[in-house]
Amino acid sequence: MPAKRLIEVVQKLSHAHDVDAIVDIVRVAARELTGADGATFVLRDVDKCYYVEENAISPLWKGRRFPLTACISGWVMLNGTPAVIEDIYVDPRIPAEAYRPTFVKSLVMVPVRQKAPIAAIGNYWATKRRPTDREVEILQALADSTSVAMENAELYGQLQAKIATLGRREARIREQRDALEVFTRSLAHDLKEPVRAIRSFAQLMIEEPRELDDVKAAERIRNAGDRMAMLIDTVFRYTQLDDPERLSHDEFNLAHAVETAVENLSALIAERGASVVREDLPVVTADLALLAQVFENLISNAVGHNPGPVEVRVSAERTAGGVRICVADNGSGIRCADQEHIFEPFRRLTHDKSHAGLGLAVCRKIVALHGGAIECRSEPGRGASFYFTVPDELPVIERDLEAVQPHERAIA
pLDDT band at 408 (very low <50, low <70, confident <90, very high): very low
Same domain, 142 and 261: no
- Strands 374-378, 275-278: pairing kind: unpaired
Is residue 251, in this structure, part of any structural domain at all? yes
Same domain, 144 and 19: yes
Answer with the one of 124, 159, 194 that is the final residue of a domain.
159
Q: For the ranges 72-86, 294-308, 346-360, which has the lowest average pLDDT? A: 346-360
Please name which of 98, 147, 144, 149 lies closest in space to residue 124, comparing C-alpha atoms: 98
pLDDT digits (tens, 9 = 90+) for 114-172: 889 999 999 999 999 999 999 999 999 999 999 999 999 999 888 988 998 888 888 87
Give dist(CA 313, CA 323) in Å, integer: 16
Same domain, 8 and 149: yes
pLDDT digits (tens, 9 = 90+) for 339-371: 777 887 665 555 455 554 678 888 988 898 888
Is residue 268, in this structure, part of any structural domain at all? yes
Is residue 74, in this structure, part of any structural domain at all? yes
Greatest pairwise CA separation for the chain in angstroms: 116
Using DSSP's 3-state secondary structure scheme, residue 77 falls into helix
Is residue 141, in this structure, part of any structural domain at all? yes
Range of the domain at 23: 2-159
What's the structural domain count of the chain? Answer: 2
Is residue 174, in this structure, part of any structural domain at all? no
